[in-house]
Chains A and B, each alone.
Chain A
Amino acid sequence: MCGVCGCGQDHAHDEQHEHQHHDHQPAGHSHAPGLSPSRMVRIEQDILAKNNLYAADNRRYFGERGILALNLVSSPGSGKTTLLTETIARLRADLPLAVIEGDQQTSRDAERIRAAGAPAVQINTGKGCHLDAHRIGHALHSLALEPASVLFIENVGNLVCPSAFDLGEAHKVVILSVTEGEDKPLKYPDMFRAADLMILNKTDLLPYLEFDSTQCIAYARQVNPRLRVLCLSAKTGEGMDDWLCWIKAALMLQGIGYPST
Chain B
Amino acid sequence: MHEMSLCESVLQVLEQQAQLQQFSRIKTVWLEVGALSAVEPEALRFCFGSVAQGTLADQARLEIIEIPGLAECAACTARVAVQQLYDVCPNCGSFQLRIIDGDQMRIKELEVE
- Chain B residues with Cβ below 8 Å from A223 are 85-86
- Quick check: A190 and B112 within 8 Å, CB to CB? no
Mark interface residues in A25-54 (1 if CB within 8 Å of B CB, else 0): 011001000001111111111111111000
Number of interface residues of A (CB under 8 A): 39
A107 contacts the other chain (CB 8 A): no
A149 contacts the other chain (CB 8 A): no
Using a CB-CB cutoff of 8 Å, which residues 135-194 of chain A contact chain B?
A: 160-161, 163-165, 185-186, 189-190, 193
The CA of A163 and the CA of B96, in the complex, are separated in Å by 20
A-B contact pairs, 20 of them (CB 8 A): A36-B113, A38-B27, A39-B111, A39-B113, A40-B111, A40-B112, A41-B111, A44-B107, A47-B10, A47-B105, A47-B107, A49-B13, A51-B9, A128-B5, A130-B2, A160-B2, A160-B38, A186-B86, A219-B86, A225-B74
- Quick check: A43 and B1 within 8 Å, CB to CB? no
A221 contacts the other chain (CB 8 A): yes
Using a CB-CB cutoff of 8 Å, which residues 65-113 of chain B contact chain A?
A: 74, 84-86, 88, 95-96, 104-113
- Chain A residues with Cβ below 8 Å from B112 are 38-41
The CA of A128 and the CA of B13, in the complex, are separated in Å by 20
With A36-B113, A160-B38 in contact, is A44–B106 under 8 Å at CB? Answer: yes
Q: Tell me the dominant secondary structure on chain A's binding face.
A: mixed
Mark interface residues in B20-49 (1 if CB within 8 Å of A CB, else 0): 110100010001000001110000000000
- Quick check: B6 and A47 within 8 Å, CB to CB? yes
Checking B9, B20, B85, B95 against A47 with a beta-carbon cut-off of 8 angstroms, the contacting residue is B9
- Quick check: A161 and B107 within 8 Å, CB to CB? no
Sorted nearest first, the 4 A-B pairs with minimum C-beta distance are: A161-B2, A189-B85, A38-B113, A129-B1
B50 contacts the other chain (CB 8 A): no
- Quick check: B105 and A40 within 8 Å, CB to CB? no
- Chain B residues with Cβ below 8 Å from A44 are 106-109
- Chain A residues with Cβ below 8 Å from B2 are 129-130, 160-161, 164-165
- Chain A residues with Cβ below 8 Å from B110 are 40-41, 43
- Quick check: B109 and A41 within 8 Å, CB to CB? yes
B55 contacts the other chain (CB 8 A): no
- Quick check: B85 and A190 within 8 Å, CB to CB? yes
- Quick check: B5 and A132 within 8 Å, CB to CB? yes
- Quick check: A225 and B20 within 8 Å, CB to CB? no
- Quick check: B17 and A222 within 8 Å, CB to CB? no
